[in-house]
Amino acid sequence: MVFASLTFLYCFLAVTLILMWIVPKKLKNLVLLLASLVFYFWGEKLYVWILVFSTVFDYVNGRLIGHFQKTNKKKAAKAILILSVVGNLAILCTFKYSDFFLQNLNHLGLNLKLLGLTLPIGISFYTFQTMSYTIDVYRGEVEVQNNIIAFGTYVTMFPQLIAGPIVRYKNVEQEMNERRITVEDYAAGIRRFVIGLAKKVLLANAAGSVYDTVSQHTSATGAMLWFAGLMYMFQIYFDFSGYSDMAIGLGRMFGFHFPENFNYPYIATSITDFWRRWHITLSTWFREYVYIPLGGNRVGKAKQIRNFLIVWALTGFWHGASWNFVLWGLYFFVLLTLEKFIFGKALSKLPGFVQHLYALVFVFFGWILFSHVELSGIGSTLQGMFGFGKQPFMNREAAYLLYTNLVLTVCLVLGSTELPKKLWGRVENTLSSENHEPSIGLIVLKNAVLALLFLLCVACLLRESYNPFLYFRF
């Protein structure tokens, strides 16, 4: 079940919200836990037991670490932490990477049988969340959660279960035990959810449809390949950021304040700036639990580069069991290392539009690596883009493709910037009263815009079967 579906909107979400409003405060975590398990079981009937096991496993580990720390048994606490980390990584590697390693061993001449395990939905996200909990308990940064219902709610919470944001326990520790669901939070959550839904249904799906059409074309020209790369660049942004917006909005409806996951990454002026804005919770996770423990910036230049290499190789590999993801991670490792140690200061002195163009070009080619699981596909795409393929760079079909998607392209470009937010801010300032309180006209306009967006999304969902979600495979 995906958020951008009529089943979720009119059945699951409606029932869950009603239950959350009518049950007493002490039962809200239990209701959310049960609803989340139903949500996960709907799409992952076979492997729901892994989610349950991970929850119980790290609940027990957290309790044991807390107990050993209170009794000053530091070695025992560290042993449990190691057990937690190794256990979680073993589960993740078994289901996500076992066939990848077996296939590569077979390329060396072995004849090993592949396991053929399907990837459990969301395992990369909830595994990182449970690990962060036990690590933070060991560090003394959070209190042990003794209530298994509350801890199970944290791990399985359906708004962020499938594709994040990666919510560390410290982000919601107070709200797990004591939270108020106010009308203001509920209204803000609805607004955020509808905006995310519109980004996903109206923009990401439209861009993805164009990309898939060109990808399946047997004789795509260079211009078509460039345009397809641009469409994928926008699809993955609006798809993932839209999902994050919906997750944050849903969390707000249930009384939680999830961390932001995107901050207009396509207005970045460097690759470093891009990664401060893209998938923020994943970058934060690797910084807090890998980069800093390795020494971070507190070590010499050689070790800093080593730390960069480890983090970005793992970041790439986290996204999928394929060499193109590893290559993608190493690609950004090289760029970030060059920026930090060689030309970063010189880059910052260039005009802003040059910095922005530089960042966009290298991010664009990064998505070319990311979008092709087969390395041969990367090579053939790059050849075609630069005129070394069998097809001409431009023909009538390519011109027609560009012309018919001109309005969509403009909407995608503008939607990925701060311009819509700034324009809406001006509207709010114009329609607000002298004491800056929203006027009746502004309230009516805001709700009308949200209602229109929601109706457009529902109309699209009713008539279209194309509704993929890219990050399900991660």
CA angle 449, 455, 456 (to 5 degrees): 90
CA distance 363 to 449: 32
Task: Say whether 262 sits in a helix, a strand or coil.
Answer: coil
Place of tokens 């801890």: 151
CA distance 219 to 181: 55
- DSSP-derived secondary structure letter, 11: I
CA distance 236 to 463: 22
CA distances from 76 to 55, 65, 69, 71 (A): 21, 8, 8, 10
Question: Are 290 and 310 within 8 A, CB to CB?
Answer: yes
CA distance 150 to 178: 11
**Which of 194, 220, 126, 197 is CA-nearest to residue 165?**
126
CA distance 269 to 284: 20
CA distance 408 to 460: 15
Helices marked H in 287-436: 301-319, 323-338, 344-348, 352-371, 375-385, 396-404, 406-415, 419-431
Question: Are 316 and 325 within 8 A, CB to CB?
Answer: yes
Place of tokens 């990666």: 166
CA distance 94 to 368: 28
Exposure class string for 426-440: b at 16+ Cβ within 10 A, else e = eeeeebeeeeeeeee
Sequence-distant (6+) residues with CB within 8 A of 95 are: 47, 50, 117, 118, 119, 120, 123
Chain centroid to CA 320: 13
**Residues identified as active-site:** 319
